[in-house]
Every structure is written in structure tokens, then in C-alpha cells.
Amino acid sequence: MPHVIEIADNRRASLDECVEALTATGFDPGDDESLHHAARWLRRLGNNKTFLGDLLIEELARRNRDLGLDSAYGPQVMMLAPPNGQFFIRANIWPALDDHMIRASGGDAFVLGLPHDHNFSFLTLGYFGPGYWSDYYEYDYEAVTGYRGEPVPSLKFIERARLEEGKIMLYRAHRDVHAQGAADALSVSLNIMHTSGAQGWLDQYRFDLERREIAAIISPGPSEAFLRVAVGLGGEEALDLAHRFARNHPSDRLRLTAWDALAARENDPALREALWRTAEGSGSRLVAMEAKARRAELV
């Protein structure tokens, strides 16, 4: 499960001070000194019980004059500090089951009951309220290929726990899995998220806990969307690029996207089946297993 980090520090920090301290040193969750430096500044920011409310009031007060802070990009998540080298900082709002937000939008909008891992590591702190619950699992990322329905025998339940106010946890990339439940009452968490150039090519999975298998890849990148649109528009250069990506791209996920985009152009089931049969022999286990599933769906 995520690693609990115990840090006793009563000092308070402003958001600007926290960002400045992290910018000066960076954030590398794989380095103990860097990790604890970031956790200490997250603790100090969490001790500041007025900064987030002040920021929200400021945002609401000027809403009618401009488009608002760049930090606000959704009803649940506020970007407090945009990507800055190795990190960004955000706040997350977690409603209770009987709150209007969940009754109006449903739990899926808040990723409730969706067992998943992360393709990045991040620190989180319970800032306000009782905190959300999670069922925590661990698995061996290196032992899976990533196709739908792939067995994950290493997936094991660890415990159910809550992100209580003041608690700091490190969610480890490609190791910790959680199925998140609602908070008992409205809660807020603060996150320091690790970023890297390779992150967009690393897969994030949704799991089927009953079957102990991978249910889906849930980390599509912009390159995949661009490729689908370009192939859908039908230009010769786009089709040529899709064929080359399908056979040779170093990312298996983008190779699968290329095959999907090409298959979507085929209205004849026989031609689509032939294309997926070719994909099965293209040299990628992920593509081969997904192509086999696509062919079965055509029957």
C-alpha cells in the first residue's frame, strides 16, 4: 500500500514558499532525501489552514472579471502550481456519498470504486475533513504485458485505510493499486505530483478485482488522439504513418492505437478481420492479445 510518511513539523508555509522550496531542489520520489524534503514542505503547507480557502474566495471574487486562475480546471481538482520541471501541486475535493455533487454526477465522476494504479508517484496529505477511504492492493508491474483480460496473479489485497487529516502518504508508481471509496464527509487532500518526460509512455491500468486481471489501459496520451483523428480524415501521409507506427513504434500502446485507427476505416468485416490477423503477427504481445480479442468480437 502507499507508504505512510511520519513528519513532525509545526511550521506553516505559504503556497509560494512551498513552490519555491521544491523548485530549488526538484522532486524525485526515488531519492529519500528529495522525498522527505518534499514531504516536509507538504506538511508545512498543510499546516496552513487558510491558504486554500483564501485562494478559493479570490477565485470566486474575480470570476466575473476574467476567466479565473489557471489553477482551476474542474469541479474536483484545483491546480495550485502548474508543472514545473519535476512536479506540480494540486488540491482534490472529495465529497461524501450523500453530497449533491455525487448524487448529481455519480461516483464515476470522482473515480469512486475504480481500482487503478498510477504511472507516476505522488505525495498526498489529508488537508481537511475525515478523508476518503481506499482498499489498497499491490502488484508486480514488470510481470504484466497490459492487455485486457490479462491475469495478474501478483495482485494482492493489503488493507482498507483512510487518508485522515494530517496523514501523508506516498503513492508509488506501478506498484500501489487502490479502489477509492467516498469520504464520510466533505474532505480535501493536497498532492505533490511527480512528472517526467517518460511518463506519457508509461501505462496506467484499471483492474478487475474479482477476476484478478487487467480490465483496461486508462492512460491514453495526446499522440493517440492525434493519430486517430489524422487517420480518420484519410490523408495518405496519415495512413502511411499509421502503418509504420503499427509495425515499428517503440510504444506498444501507440502501435495498438495505429491498428485500431486503421481497423476503424474498414467497413467490411472480412477486411477488418484480415487486418487484425496481420496485427497478431506484428511482433508485440500486447498488440497480439488485443488483436485476438478484436477478432473474437467480430464473430
Q: What is the pLDDT of residue 68?
A: 44
Q: What is the pLDDT of residue 67?
A: 44
Give the tens place of pLDDT for each residue, 33-52: 999 999 999 999 999 999 99
Q: What is the pLDDT of residue 138?
A: 97
> Going from the N-terminus, what domains does the chain have, and what CATH number goes with each?
3-217 (2.60.120.10), 222-298 (no CATH)
Q: What is the pLDDT of residue 56?
A: 84
* Residue found by looking up cell 513532525 in the block: 8
Q: CB-hemisphere CA count at 13 Å for 68?
A: 16
Contacts of 64 (CB under 8 A, 6+ apart): none
pTM: 0.85
Q: What is the pLDDT of residue 98?
A: 82
Question: What's the per-residue H, E or C state across the chain?
Answer: CCEECCCCCCCCCCHHHHHHHHHHHCCCCCCHHHHHHHHHHHHHHHHCCCHHHHHHHHHHHCCCCCCCCCCECCCCEEEEECCCCCEEEEEEEECECCCHHHHHHCHHHHCCCCCECCCCCEEEEEEECCCEEEEEEECCHHHCCCCCCCECCCCEEEEEEECCECCEEEECCCCEEEEEEEECCCEEEEEEEECCCCHHHCCCEEEECCCCEEEEECCCCHHHHHHHHHHHHCCHHHHHHHHHHHHHCCCHHHHHHHHHHHHHCCCCHHHHHHHHHHHHCCCCHHHHHHHHHHHHHHC
Residue ranges of the chain whose pLDDT lies below 70: 63-75, 100-101, 104-109
